[in-house]
Structure 1
Amino acid sequence: MKRHLWFVFSVLLIASMVLAACAQATPTQPPAQATQPPAQEQPTQPPAETPTQPTTERAPVIRFATLEDMTTTNVWALFDDVGASYWNYVVQIYHWPTLFTLSDQRYDFIPAVAADFPSEFTQEGDLYVATVKLKDGLVWSDGSPVTADDVAFTANTVLKFKLGLNWQSGYNPDYLVKVEAVDPLTVKFYYNTIPGLSLWQYGALQSPFVNKAYWEPKIADALAIVNSDEYKALEQQVADLEKAVKEGTATQEELDAKKGELDAKLKEAVDILHKLDNEGEPTFGAWRLEKWEVGAFAENRVNEKNFFIGTVVEEYANGAYREYKEDGSYEFTAYGTPEGEKVLEYKSGPYFDSALYTLYGNPDAAVLALRNNDVDFLLNPSGLQQGFVDQLKEDPNITIVENKQNGFRYLAFNQNRSYFKGEAGKALRQAIACMIDLDFLSQRVLQGAVLPVYTLVPEGNGFWHNPDVPKWCAGDDTKTRMEKAVKILKDAGFTWEKEPSWNEARGGSVEYGQGLKLPNGEKFPEVKLLAPSAGYDPLRATAGVYIEQWMRQLGIPATAELTNFNNILTAVYDTGDYDMFILGWGLTIYPDYICTFFDSGVPTNPYGYESAALKEKCDAFLVETDINKAKELAFEIQNILATELPYITLFTNPVYDAFRNLEYPYTEVLDGIGSGLYGAPTLAKPAAQ
C-alpha cells in the first residue's frame, strides 16, 4: 500500500508544535470536524447483500472499528477545510489517483499513475514548465480511461475556486498558474517560478485528481458565479484598490471592504461545489465506496479495474525499488539496480472483498468489540491509549504493535544569551547532549512510556533520514559520558573551581562540578529550564528534572522550572525571556522543517540561532527540484544540526495498534498502521489459522 502523504501539511507545523506540547500523543492528521455521534451498544451492521464484484479467492470482509462518522463524500470538500477529518480519510483517502506516491516504509518518491519521473523544468516566456507522462491503459472504476485531461481539469478547478488546505498545498495558486493536457497521456504544469520539492514532488505531483467527464457538467453552476461579469468586476475593483492603496489614493478600509465582497461571492460558489452530490462518481483506487449509512457504518468494496491489484513490490538494502506484475506485463525500477538483500517484498491486495467500517462512538465500546471478535482492527488517529493496551495484551488472539510517532520532544536554548552563543555555546550544548542518557531516561526512568530520539529526521522516515549524524555519547556508560563532556568543555576553554570527577565509592557516581567558569573567566550564571508541569505532562516534567541534574553534574547551575504550558509559549515566542525550554513538534515526511524551524526571523526560530553553513545548504535545499540532490543536501543539513545542536532531541511517544485475525507484510510504520496507513486494508491478509 503505497502511501499518499500530500495531505500532511507543512503549513500546520506551528499548530503541530502546540498539539505536541499539549498532549502525550499527538495526531498528525487534521482534527476531525464532525460532532462525535452517541455510543451505540449494538452497532448497526450492514444488511446481507449479493456481492457486486466477481467471485474471487478473497476473504469476505475486513472489519474496522471507528470512533467517529464520516461527514462528506464530496471530493472537493474532503480535501478542503470543511472535510479535513481522519475519519473521512480512513474510508476514502485511497479512492482518488495521484501522479506520484511514496513507497512503503522507506518513503521513496515513486510514480503511481505517472509512467516515469517528471521532466526537468524549462522556461517558456515568463513561466517555468515541466511535463509528466501517464501510464497507458489505466481506467477509472467505470472503465473510462484515465487521461491528462483529468489532471488538468482538477488542478485548474482548484485554482479557479481557490480551494484551501490539502488542495492548496498541492495546487497552490501563488505559484501554479495553470495545467494543460498536451495529449491524452501528457500533462504540462506552468509555474511562475521554479518550484521546490514542497510545491512540486510533495505538492502537485502527490495531489489527487478526479474524473473530468463526471465532474465538468456538475460544477457548471458554481463555475458560472466565478466566471460572471459581476465577479470579474469585483476582481478588477480589488486590483485597482490595491494599486490605489500603494499610491496613497485609497484607504486600507476601502480595500478590505471590497475584498470582503469578493470573498463572499467566491464562498457562494465554493459552497455549491462542496455540496454537490457525487453518487456514481468514478474513482480509481483499489477500493470504492459501496455504501454509507450515516451514524452506523460505511463499506468499501474492491475496484476490480484498479491497475495495481496484484502488483509485487520489492525494496532492496542498496536503495533500489522495484514493482512488477507476475505475468510480465509491467515492471518499474528506480534508485539503483534491484539486487542483493531485499528488505521488503509483498504482493498488493486487497485480500478481502469488502472493508467494513462500523461506528462504535467511544473507545470502550470499540475495545470491547475487538475483544469479542466483532471487529478486526481498532482505528484511532493517535493510536491506542496505554490503558487499553494493557487490557488487550492479556488476550493471546490480539496483536499489539508499537511504532514511533513522526515527531519529537526537544530541548532548546536561547542563543541570544551570551553563554549559549558562539563556539563556546556550541561546546556547552554538545556537553549537555553527551550527559543526557536517552536510553536510561526512556527505559529506566519513564518505564518505556516513550522512545528515544537521536535525530531530527526520524529513523522511520527512511528516504530522508541520515543515520550517520553525530549522536553524542550514545551507548556510553555514565563515567564515559562525564569524561567526554568534561573534555568537550575543557577543550572550549571552560574551567571549574572543582572539576567534575568520578567517585568509585559505592558503585561509582559523578562528583558534581562546582564553580563553572566561561572561557572569558566569568562565572557561569544561574539558568532556568522551562518544562511543562507534572500535572500537564509528567513525561516532560520528569525529563526536565533529570536534565537539571545532568547539567548540575557538569557544574552548570541549572534549575528545572515546571510551569504552565502557556507560560512557556509566552516566554519563548513573546518576551524572549528564557534560558532553555522543552517543547515538541509534529513533523511531515518531506523534512523542510530542518530548515524552516531554524530560519532567522520566523516564528519557529525564537532561539537566536544563526548558522552560515546551515543557511547556505538550506537556500539550495528549499529550491532543489531533483529529489536525489535534495536528499544529499538534507543529509548535510542534518549533520550540521546534529553538530551545532540548536535542538537536543529527547523522545517521542509510541503509537500502539491493536488487531486480530490479520497479517501484514510489515508492521514497522512511522505513526503506526492505523494513524499512518489508515489500517492498510490493501496490505492486510487473513491470518493463518
Structure 2
Amino acid sequence: MKKLFIVAVAAVLVASMVPMQAQDEVLLKIGCQDEPKTLNIWKATDVWTTHVVNWFYPTFYYRKPVTLEPLPDICTISLDELRANSPDGLTYTFPLRDDVSWDDGTPLTAYDYEFAYNIIMELEIPDFLPAYEDVEYFKAVDDYTVEIKLARCTPQFEESVIFSIPVPIHQFEPMLIEARATDVPLQTFLDLSVDNPLSAGPFSFGQWEKGAFVKLVTNPNYHGKGRTLMVNGETITEGPFYDGLLLKLYGTTDAALLGIQKGEIDYIWWNLDPGYIAQLLGNDKVTIEKADELGFYYLAPNIAKEPFDDLVLRQALVYLVQKDFIVSRVLQGYGGEAHSVVMPAAGDWYNPNINMYGQGMSKEERVAAATEMLTAAGYTVPDVGYAEGGVIKLPDGTDMQPFEILTPPADYDPMRAMSGVLVQEWWREIGVPVTAKPTSFGEIVHKTFEAMTFDWYILGWRLGGTGYCDHMRYFFHSDQAVPDGNNPMSFKNPEVDAYLENIMSLCDRDDLVEAAWKAQEIIIEEVGYCPLYYRTMNEAHRNDTFTGWFTQLGGIAGVESPRSCLLYLEPITEEPGVEPEDGDGCLGTILIAGMLAAGAAIVYRRRK
C-alpha cells in the first residue's frame, strides 16, 4: 500500500512539471444553430452539414479570398497555363501535386477525382450532375494527371468543373457496390452513413457529440499551410495556426450571444438580426462585421398540391405579401426587398424588370387586386376574414381546406418566423385558412426537400461564387423536382428548362445574361418562389482571442475552402507576465499532492 501511494504521488509531481500551455488545445470555437444531418458528402445539401464535410475534399483550384480569382490547389499550374496548354479549347490536362494524402496515409491521386466524377454520372446525383452536362469525359491519365474533355464550350468549366472534388476510393467504393445491389441505388447511396470521413483538407474529422458539438482537428500534413497571398493590401498566410475547430450547437441566438460574451465561443456562424446586434454593440471584446451576400429568403408553394397548382391563386396570394413592411419593421432596414431569385449584389445577372407584384401599393390596394383576380377566376372571397369565420371558396364551390406555412421557430430565426406570421395574417384577411407553423430546421428540410409533403414553407439560401447565377439551374429545373433534389416546389416549365440549360452551356456573356433574365421573368411570373428579402450580413466575432479577421462577399467564413477567413486566423497570446520563481509554477499541484498524501495516509491507517 505504501509503495502504491508513493508511486501515485510521484506521478502527480512529474505531471506537474509539464507546462500548462503544452497540455491545452487551442481551438477556434464557433457557434452553430444546428448540427450536420449526415457526414456523407453526397447528401450534404444543408449549410450545417457543409460546414463540416466540405473541409475534407480539396479541389483542383480554389477562389482567392476577397477577389475570388481561381488559384491552384491540388492542380500545380495556374488557370492561364491550363488554358494555354489546351490544344483545342475543349481538352484540358490537370497535373496534380504528388505530396497530398488522405489522413489515413493513402495517397490522393487522379483516380480519386475520376472516381468521384463516375459516381456522379452513374447515380445521377441531382446536386452535382448539372455542372457536368457538357463534359465528354473525365479521366485519370496516370496517378497524378487528370484529363477533361468538354463536348462544347461551357461557363461551367471555370465556374464548377475546376472546383471538382475527389473522394477516397477505398472509403466510397464499398458503399457504391452496396448501393448498386439495391432497387434504388441513388437513394441507398445517399442514405448510407459515413461514420469517420477521411480528409485531405485543412481539418480532419475528430468527434461528433450529437446535440452538443462537432470537433474537427487540424490536419498536420495539410498541403496548403504556409501559402501567402496579398489581400486588401496586406500579406496573409494560410494556416490553420491552431489545433482545430469546435462547432458548438446553440439552439437559440440568445444562447449563442451569451456564449460569445462569456468567451465560450469566438465566432457566431450565422447572420444576426438587428435586435441581437444591439445587444453586442456595448461589448468591446466583440466586433460586428458587415458584408454583402448573394443569398436571399423566400416563400415557396407546393405546386404539385391542389389548390396551389392554380397559378391565379398563387399570384393573388403573392400580391398580399407586403415585402416593404417586412424590410422596414422586421429587418429594421438591415437588408432589402427581394423580387427576383437573383439579388442585386450579383450585378448585371440581376433582372430588375420582373413582376414585382404590387410594389408601391397600399395594403387596401393589394387586397383589392387579389380579390379581383380570384373572383375573375371563380373563387368566392368572403366579406369577413378567416378570424371572423370567413373562408374563401374554391371555383368548385367548396371551402378551401386549412393549410400550413412551415417556418423556422423564433429562437432559430426570428425574422423568418415573424415573416411567416405576417403572411398568415395578410392571407387570412381574405378568408385564406392558413397557419404559420414554427418547425425545426431539420423537420422543414425533411418535409420539403426529402418527402415533398409540405403546403408552403419559408427558408433561405446562402450562395457562394461570383454572382453568376447557375443556382437557378439547381433550384428550378424540372429534373430537380425529385426527393433530395432542390426543386421541392415541383416547378416545371419547359421554356425555363431551356433557359437554365443555356445558362450552363453558353459562352457568350450577353447570351448568358439574356437567358438569366428570361428565366427570372418566368419563374417569378409563375410563382416558383415568392422571394421575400435579402439581408446585409452581420456577423459577430471576439477580438481578443484570434487576429486576422476579414470579411468578403458572403461574410467572414465564406465557403469551407482556402478562401475562408478562418484558415488565416492566428491565436492571440497573452502578454508575458512576471516569471514565477523556481518551483512556484508547481505549487498548486504540490498542494494537491499533499492533500492526496494526507487522504491516502488516513485510508491507510483505517485499513490498517
Of residues 568, 576, 583, the one that matches 2:458 is 583
The letter of the residue matching 1:130 is L
Structure 2 residue 115 is the aligned partner of structure 1 residue 115: no
Deviations along 1:542-573, whole A, 9 cap, x unmatched?
434433443466xx431223458579987999
Partner of 2:422: 546
- The DSSP-based 3-state class of the residue aligned with 2:522 is helix
* Distance (whole Å) between structure 2 residues aligned to residue 409 and residue 123 of structure 1: 45
For the structure 1 residues 657 and 445, does the alpha-carbon distance in structure 2 shift closer, same or farther, using more than 3 Å as the test?
A: closer
Partner of 1:65: 29
Contact 1:533 1:563 in 2 (8 A): yes
For the structure 1 residues 575 and 177, does the alpha-carbon distance in structure 2 shift closer, same or farther, using more than 3 Å as the test?
A: closer
For the structure 1 residues 397 and 439, does the alpha-carbon distance in structure 2 shift closer, same or farther, using more than 3 Å as the test?
A: farther
* Distance (whole Å) between structure 2 residues aligned to residue 575 and residue 171 of structure 1: 24
The letter of the residue matching 2:299 is Y
Of residues 551, 566, 571, the one that matches 1:667 is 551
Contact 1:669 1:676 in 2 (8 A): no
Q: Identify which range, 352-361 or 630-639, moves more after superposition.
A: 352-361
CA shift for structure 1 position 398: 1.5
The letter of the residue matching 1:409 is Y
* Distance (whole Å) between structure 2 residues aligned to residue 259 and residue 572 of structure 1: 18
Partner of 2:147: 188
Partner of 2:288: 400
Contact 1:435 1:551 in 2 (8 A): yes
Contact 1:409 1:585 in 2 (8 A): yes
Structure 2 residue 155 is the aligned partner of structure 1 residue 155: no
For the structure 1 residues 588 and 410, does the alpha-carbon distance in structure 2 shift closer, same or farther, using more than 3 Å as the test?
A: same
CA shift for structure 1 position 638: 1.5
CA shift for structure 1 position 531: 1.6
CA shift for structure 1 position 410: 0.8
CA shift for structure 1 position 594: 2.5
CA shift for structure 1 position 440: 1.7
Partner of 2:472: 594
The letter of the residue matching 2:60 is T
For the structure 1 residues 410 and 464, does the alpha-carbon distance in structure 2 shift closer, same or farther, using more than 3 Å as the test?
A: same
Deviations along 1:139-171, whole A, 9 cap, x unmatched?
8889xxxxxx99745424546899999997799
* Distance (whole Å) between structure 2 residues aligned to residue 669 and residue 64 of structure 1: 22
Q: From the two aligned structures, give the one with the greater helix fraction.
A: 2
Partner of 1:642: 524
Partner of 1:337: none
CA shift for structure 1 position 119: 6.1
Map 1:324-473 → 2, pairs under 5 A: 345-350=232-237, 354-357=241-244, 359=246, 371=261, 377-378=266-267, 380=269, 382=270, 392-401=280-289, 406=295, 408-412=297-301, 414=303, 421=310, 425=312, 429-430=314-315, 432-445=317-330, 453-460=338-345, 464-466=349-351, 469-473=354-358
For the structure 1 residues 106 and 530, does the alpha-carbon distance in structure 2 shift closer, same or farther, using more than 3 Å as the test?
A: farther
Deviations along 1:503-562, whole A, 9 cap, x unmatched?
xxxxxxxxx9x99999x9x98964655223896887556434433443466xx4312234
The letter of the residue matching 2:51 is Y
Partner of 2:578: none
CA shift for structure 1 position 637: 1.1
Residue identity (%) = 15
Partner of 1:131: 91
Contact 2:289 2:540 in 1 (8 A): yes
Of residues 225, 228, 232, the one that matches 1:309 is 228
Of residues 83, 86, 95, the one that matches 2:51 is 86
Deviations along 1:290-327, whole A, 9 cap, x unmatched?
99999796487997996x62446xxxxxxxxxxxxxxx
- The DSSP-based 3-state class of the residue aligned with 2:80 is coil
**Number of residue pairs matched by the alignment:** 494
For the structure 1 residues 208 and 570, does the alpha-carbon distance in structure 2 shift closer, same or farther, using more than 3 Å as the test?
A: closer
Structure 2 residue 431 is the aligned partner of structure 1 residue 557: yes
- The DSSP-based 3-state class of the residue aligned with 1:634 is helix
For the structure 1 residues 621 and 561, does the alpha-carbon distance in structure 2 shift closer, same or farther, using more than 3 Å as the test?
A: same
CA shift for structure 1 position 206: 0.4
For the structure 1 residues 675 and 498, does the alpha-carbon distance in structure 2 shift closer, same or farther, using more than 3 Å as the test?
A: same
* Distance (whole Å) between structure 2 residues aligned to residue 177 and residue 361 of structure 1: 42
For the structure 1 residues 490 and 649, does the alpha-carbon distance in structure 2 shift closer, same or farther, using more than 3 Å as the test?
A: same
* Distance (whole Å) between structure 2 residues aligned to residue 291 and residue 570 of structure 1: 29
For the structure 1 residues 685 and 455, does the alpha-carbon distance in structure 2 shift closer, same or farther, using more than 3 Å as the test?
A: farther
CA shift for structure 1 position 660: 1.0
For the structure 1 residues 458 and 433, does the alpha-carbon distance in structure 2 shift closer, same or farther, using more than 3 Å as the test?
A: same
Contact 1:415 1:421 in 2 (8 A): no
- The DSSP-based 3-state class of the residue aligned with 1:674 is coil
- The DSSP-based 3-state class of the residue aligned with 1:188 is strand
* Distance (whole Å) between structure 2 residues aligned to residue 440 and residue 618 of structure 1: 32
* Distance (whole Å) between structure 1 residues aligned to residue 346 and residue 449 of structure 2: 29
Q: Identify which range, 606-615 or 162-171, moves more after superposition.
A: 162-171
* Distance (whole Å) between structure 2 residues aligned to residue 593 and residue 626 of structure 1: 18
* Distance (whole Å) between structure 2 residues aligned to residue 571 and residue 449 of structure 1: 28
* Distance (whole Å) between structure 2 residues aligned to residue 45 and residue 188 of structure 1: 51
For the structure 1 residues 179 and 630, does the alpha-carbon distance in structure 2 shift closer, same or farther, using more than 3 Å as the test?
A: farther
For the structure 1 residues 45 and 291, does the alpha-carbon distance in structure 2 shift closer, same or farther, using more than 3 Å as the test?
A: farther
* Distance (whole Å) between structure 2 residues aligned to residue 613 and residue 259 of structure 1: 30
Deviations along 1:436-458, whole A, 9 cap, x unmatched?
22232244257689975433234
Contact 1:298 1:356 in 2 (8 A): yes
Gaps of at least 5 residues in structure 2 are 1-18, 33-38, 101-106, 208-213, 383-387, 573-608
- The DSSP-based 3-state class of the residue aligned with 1:620 is helix
Contact 1:528 1:560 in 2 (8 A): yes
* Distance (whole Å) between structure 2 residues aligned to residue 97 and residue 256 of structure 1: 30
Contact 2:393 2:400 in 1 (8 A): no
Contact 2:350 2:517 in 1 (8 A): yes
* Distance (whole Å) between structure 2 residues aligned to residue 153 and residue 89 of structure 1: 19
The letter of the residue matching 1:658 is H
CA shift for structure 1 position 648: 1.1
- The DSSP-based 3-state class of the residue aligned with 2:318 is helix
Partner of 1:98: 60
For the structure 1 residues 483 and 415, does the alpha-carbon distance in structure 2 shift closer, same or farther, using more than 3 Å as the test?
A: farther
CA shift for structure 1 position 349: 1.2
The letter of the residue matching 1:394 is G
CA shift for structure 1 position 633: 1.9
Contact 1:409 1:649 in 2 (8 A): yes
Partner of 1:633: 515
For the structure 1 residues 667 and 443, does the alpha-carbon distance in structure 2 shift closer, same or farther, using more than 3 Å as the test?
A: farther
Contact 2:215 2:247 in 1 (8 A): no
The letter of the residue matching 1:543 is S
Contact 2:239 2:568 in 1 (8 A): no
Contact 1:114 1:133 in 2 (8 A): no
For the structure 1 residues 683 and 485, does the alpha-carbon distance in structure 2 shift closer, same or farther, using more than 3 Å as the test?
A: farther
- The DSSP-based 3-state class of the residue aligned with 1:614 is helix
What is the Cα-based RMSD across aligned positions, in Å?
Answer: 6.7
